[in-house]
Chain A
């Protein structure tokens, strides 16, 4: 659970969620990440450090470049987002089943014309 605690804190920030979503589409360097987010490289590096410490992002050595990519936990977390949303929806729709079961038939009161 500890790793996931760190993961959730890391994702409390919308920029970090966006970085993660960008990396879900493929690896990218700090420079490549800084551009679309209109942030300085140090600011992006700071966010990346939080994501790396949380085990969501890892770096690869490629000559002088260090492209970042989603770590295994990061990929799992993306799947869990779907699972969490799925469970929340399931709960709602189970409740809706009950509401539907309790609903009256189309409201045509006795003696009333359509």
Chain B
């Protein structure tokens, strides 16, 4: 059974919930330490993140650059708005494909649950159209991978 839920909420939100065996402090660090982020925030198989800037303080910059190693790539930029260590992060981000998408405001909460963590990520997009485009951006980020996934699904 899957540990992840992904739901739309209202016209402009997407909510992701995931549980981790590790405590909130570790999960929080894995989201804010660039050396750790680089290891897991990779998307489709075969993609890597050669550039990972993550300045975890209010106003600090985020820049992730991905490449498939075969000349294709895209990047994301963002800024931190609020950080409550080990509990909550608020940041804005946008993808560059290469044109920038609208800002996605993301609030991530890390709540202790037993010895583990319940993570709740709530994304807020400016409007329903932008949300639809964001949901479809997986196709731009890794078209082939999406095809493979779709084939597995149908």
A binds B: yes
Residues on A facing B (Cβ under 8 Å): 1, 4, 8, 11, 14, 17-18, 20-22, 24-25, 78, 80-93, 95-101, 103, 106
Q: Which residues of A are found within 8 Å of B128, using beta-carbon distances?
A: 21-22, 24-25
Please, what's the 1-or-0 string for B26-59, where 1 marks a CB less than 8 Å from any CB in chain A?
A: 1101100000100111111100000000000000
A16 to B37, CA, bound (A): 33
Q: Closest CB-CB distance, B136 to chain A, in whole Å?
A: 5
User: Do B40 and A17 touch (CB < 8 A)?
Assistant: no
User: Looking at chain B, what size class is its interface with the partner chain?
Assistant: 35 or more
A8 x B139 contact (CB < 8 A): yes
With A11-B136, A21-B129 as contacts: A92 and B26 at CB distance below 8 Å: no
* A100 and B26 form a contact (CB under 8 A): yes
User: When the two chains form their complex, are residues B146 and A100 in contact, meaning their CB atoms are under 8 A apart?
Assistant: no
Query: Which 3 A-B residue pairings sit nearest by Cβ, starting from the closest?
Result: A21-B132, A95-B40, A100-B22
Is the beta-carbon distance between B22 and A103 smaller than 8 angstroms? yes
Indicate if the CB atoms of A88 and B44 lie closer than 8 Å. Answer: yes
Is A85 within 8 A of B138, CB to CB?
Answer: yes
27 A-B contact pairs sorted by A residue (CB < 8 Å): A4-B154, A8-B143, A18-B132, A18-B133, A21-B129, A21-B131, A22-B128, A22-B129, A25-B11, A81-B136, A82-B135, A84-B149, A85-B6, A86-B6, A87-B149, A88-B142, A91-B43, A92-B43, A93-B3, A93-B18, A93-B40, A95-B40, A96-B40, A98-B40, A99-B40, A101-B22, A103-B26
In the complex, A84 Cα to B29 Cα: how many Å? 27
Q: Which A residue's beta carbon lies closest to that of B36? A: A99
B36 / chain A contacts, CB cutoff of 8 Å: 99, 103
Residue among B27, B143, B147 making CB contact with A100, cutoff 8 Å: B27
Residues of A within 8 A of B143 (CB): 8
User: Which chain A residues border B2 with CB–CB below 8 Å?
Assistant: 90
Interface string of B92-125 (1 = CB under 8 A from A): 0000000000000000000000000000000000
